[in-house]
Amino acid sequence: MGKYVLAISGGVDSVVMLDILSKIPGNELIVAHFDHGIRQDSGIDAIFVAGLAKKYDLPFETKREKLGPDASEDKARLHRYKFLRSIAKKHNAKLVTAHHGDDIVESIAINLLRGTGWRGLAVMDSDVERLMTSLTKLEILEYAKRNKLVWREDSTNAEDKYLRNQIRRKTMRLEEDVRRQLLALWSDQKRIKKQIKDEVKRLVGNGPSYNRHFFIHIDEASAIECLRYITDNRLTHPQLEKLLHAVKTIAHGKNIELGGGVKVKFTTRNFTVELIK
């Protein structure tokens, strides 16, 4: 039992999630919908989701922005999660999305194409609850049809300008055994990622001030991993390399800004990291 903000787009995945969770007694649910304004008909989705909230007799939170048809997937995702997290904070609730097993496979493929390394296998590892990852798209569609649910189709799902759509057409052809192996690997990588994070935290402490001598004398890969943790994953790998170089060489009293709201101040022995919201 708990209190959850459900990210409901109006598509079949989130509609099924809403129906499943509404049948579990004891949970307090809030329906949240972000209208990105990318499609001309996105306002209809908002009206549809408002109707779902009314049907299930649940509170409804929504916001519309005009990101425009040229907005990237990353920009739309950033704005969407900013809104969703603000609603979760407002209600002191956990945020839940309808990502399923096929979404995990797609995200792994996208990250590997982007050269993210092993971290690309530990996708969707955050403060967001994802309760549908054990289900496939086919199982979700079967549930929706069996329970006579109605949903909205996102017209952008057929557009080749989005990388995820291009990847989806390829991952759909994967054998089921390969999918299971990828999902098992995903679980393992999330566990390993947590172990690395715990070990790094033990090594560097809680900050915000850190010993330069320590970073000068450990190997570069370990230093980069520690700096990634200290800067809350806000920096790219080249930016982390730049920060490590500064830790090793920059003079006392110097300050640098690295982007992502990361400011660093240096003394002779230490450096202090400030993360600006």
pLDDT band at 189 (very low <50, low <70, confident <90, very high): confident
Average pLDDT of span 190-216:
88
Q: Of 5-9, 84-88, 109-113, 177-181, which gets the smallest average pLDDT? A: 109-113
pLDDT band at 58 (very low <50, low <70, confident <90, very high): very high
Q: Which residues contact 172 (CB under 8 A, 6 or more apart)?
A: 102
pLDDT band at 276 (very low <50, low <70, confident <90, very high): confident
pLDDT for 181 beyond 80: no
CATH architecture of the domain 205-275 equals 2-Layer Sandwich (3.30)
Of the two residues 277 and 10, the one the predictor is more confident about is 10
Class of 3-186 in CATH: alpha beta
Q: Please, what sign has the CA dihedral across residues 75, 80, 128, 51?
A: negative
Of 11-20, 178-187, 254-263, give the range with the top mean pLDDT.
11-20
Instruction: Find residue 33's DSSP bridge partners.
Output: 62
Q: Are 201 and 229 in contact (CB under 8 A)?
A: yes
The residues spanned by each domain of the chain are 3-186, 205-275
Rounded Cα distance between 132 and 5, Å, is 15
pLDDT value for 78: 86
pLDDT for 76 beyond 70: yes
pLDDT value for 182: 73
pLDDT for 53 beyond 60: yes
pLDDT value for 248: 95
Of the two residues 180 and 112, the one the predictor is more confident about is 180
Of 79-88, 98-107, 156-165, 192-201, give the range with the top mean pLDDT.
79-88
- 68, amino acid identity: G
Q: Considering only CA atoms, which of 228, 266, 264, 267 is closest in space to residue 276?
A: 264
Of the two residues 69 and 94, the one the predictor is more confident about is 94
pLDDT value for 98: 93
Instruction: Find residue 41's DSSP bridge partners.
Output: none
Do 3-186 and 205-275 show the same overall fold? no
Mean residue pLDDT of the chain comes to 86
Q: What pLDDT, in 10s, does the model give residues 222-237?
A: 999 899 999 988 888 8
CB burial of residue 205 (10 Å; 0-12, 13-18, 19+): exposed
pLDDT band at 123 (very low <50, low <70, confident <90, very high): low
Average pLDDT of span 118-130:
68
Rounded Cα distance between 8 and 20, Å, is 13
